[in-house]
Structure 1
Amino acid sequence: MRDQLEDALNNQQFGFGQAQHINQTELPKRFYSSVDVARTDQGFTVTLDGRPVRTPGRKLPVFVPALPIAQAMATEWAAQDKHIDPTTMPMVRLINSAVESGEENIPAFRAEIGKFAANDLLLYRADAPQELVDDQERHWDGALVLLARQFDVAFQPTIGIIHQPQPAATLTKLDAALEGQGLFSLTALVSITGLTGSGLLALALLHKLMTPDEVWTAAHVDEDHQIRLWGEDEEAMERRAKRRVEFDTAIAVVEALRT
């Protein structure tokens, strides 16, 4: 179970193995001509030349509960050229991860989000320089206030990195805020949690307390401070852009299932 959870959290093995290690000569060739979306009793699925897609690992059939998710997957399948490059298929990878994890991992996914929330990015503050302190207060205090009001909880932020336990009642109520979320939504929320380093920001997104851009900005306060000091690093910015694609994909899943 833990291995599957880490796969979901790290976005490492949603497609055809570990996508970041596949070079062009190892990519599987495109083996289909047509891509469609079909509605079945189990939900929506993508078909390749009329055959429903399956996950690459356990060869499980892929059915999703919302049409926009299936359409996004179909778009990624249709966009493949001579070879199938999983790095260009974030929705397919995310959904494959959920399907291969299985419903039995729902409690573990909830626990993972709760673990981040209990030791959250937003709760550990810098004491200097003042510019960073001000940025953290501006972007993080508002998020905590919104969450505190929404769920009737209290937080105990701290300065530094020494562990500061949060009230047990707060953690219980935050876990209850995930009640009713299914496998696909929780897989997306685990991805958002890992990408932002914050279970609290994932909950704020789920309950529409913050916009995606507000969450993304809050998650990068420290990084943006370093950029202002030392300038942009091209490789780091490229990695950040790729993470944003994964982030937006996970948000699209949450939004599709919310409606």
Structure 2
Amino acid sequence: MSEIPADDPMRQAQRLMRPELPKRFYKSAEAAEENQHFTVHLDGRPIRTPARQAIALPSRALAIALAEEWMAQGERIDPLTMPLTRLVNVAIDGVTGERNAVADEIVKYAGSDLLCYRAEAPEGLVLSQSMQWDPVLAWARDDLDLSFVLVQGISFTDQPEPTLDRIRELVAPLDPLRLAALHTIMTLTGSALLAIAVFKGRLTADEAWAAAHVDEDWNMQLWGRDEEAMIRRSTRFAEMSAAHRLLALLD
């Protein structure tokens, strides 16, 4: 196979599409306390968000975890290897001023939650969904007073208004960090209910991830693994794990 010339226009275009990562400009990264909050110092200077907001964290453990991400960087700083830092930035820059909108989106997800839409067949998939999802729905009903209407197939059905109001009561008071983590888990799993179950400690990240992929795993059992899809799934799970870890570091 012949090599692509270095001056190939397609290669040049691809190179331009990949932003060059910034060089590492610091030697040390460490957690620091400032004004009864915690942050990260790079060579003694506090880090800021991309929007130049100050980072004030409620937990020393979280600050230490962020500092470890910064210290782990090599010659260049790669945000993809810093999921906690990215999530904190999102919380401060994106969620702080939009808490009501974020809470509204969580309620909207709950109105068409993944766990409420069940397969009609085959029997094995129906059973798998029931085994993974019914215990979560039972917990939500008994512990959180959340009652959902289940549907076979994909036809939309409205969920009870008291259930959606109750979800709003649960999520609206959350601080931006917890709300960002909850929203991240929700979008990655496709389920507000699974996200709330992780937030409340009813499910681990692994358990919620398995529940979110019942249909996909069933199809892979029939047709085999899609390696590219599994790579993408692994990347998404790393993001979910970071959100779960953030919640743990705030407790």
| TM-score normalised by L of structure 2 | 0.90
**Is residue 81 from structure 1 mapped to residue 74 from structure 2 by the alignment?**
yes
**1: CA distance, partners of 2:16 / 2:110:** 34
Deviation at 1:179, TM superposition (A): 4.7
What's the counterpart of residue 249 of structure 2? 256
Q: What is the number of equivalent residue pairs in this alignment?
A: 237
Cα-to-partner distance string for 1:26-77 (whole Å, 9 max, x where unaligned): 1100011111110111511111111100112x21111211122211111110
Report the equivalent of 1:100: 93
For the residue of structure 1 that corresponds to 2:179, the secondary structure is helix
Hey, what's the Cα distance between the residues in 2 that align with 1:42 and 1:23? Answer: 42
Bigger radius of gyration: 2
SS of the equivalent of 1:128 reads: coil
**Aligned match for 1:202, one of 172, 195, 204:** 195
Matches within 5 A, 1:44-55: 44-55=38-49
Match status 1:61 vs 2:50: no
**Range 192-201 or range 248-257, more displaced:** 248-257
SS in 2 for 1:26: coil
Matched residue SS, 1:177: helix
Q: Check conservation: 2:37, 2:59, Cα contact below 8 A.
A: yes
C-alpha displacement at 1:23, in angstroms?
A: 7.5
Alignment partner of 1:83: what SS? coil
In the alignment, which of 175, 186, 191 is matched to residue 168 of structure 2?
A: 175
Q: Are 1:217 and 2:210 counterparts?
A: yes
Give the equivalent residue in structure 1 for 2:108.
115
Shift in Å, 1:212: 2.1
Cα separation, partners in 2 of 1:184 and 1:25, compared to 1, 3 Å: closer
What's the C-alpha RMSD, in Å, of the aligned pairs?
1.7
Q: CA offset at residue 244 of structure 1?
A: 1.1
Whether the 8 Å contact between 2:95 and 2:180 is mirrored in structure 1 is no
* Structure 1 position 112, deviation (Å): 1.2
Number of the residue aligned with 2:152: 159
Q: Alpha-carbon deviation of 1:174?
A: 1.7
Residue 41 (structure 1) aligned with residue 35 (structure 2): yes
SS in 2 for 1:213: helix
Answer with 109-118 or 192-201: which moved more.
Answer: 109-118
Return the offset for 1:115. 0.9
Cα–Cα, structure 1 residues 223 and 156, in superposed 2: closer, same or farther, change >3 Å? Answer: same
Q: Aligned to 1:124, which of 117, 127, 143?
A: 117
Judged with a 3 Å threshold, the aligned counterparts in structure 2 of structure 1 residues 233 and 76 are, in CA distance, closer, same or farther, namely same
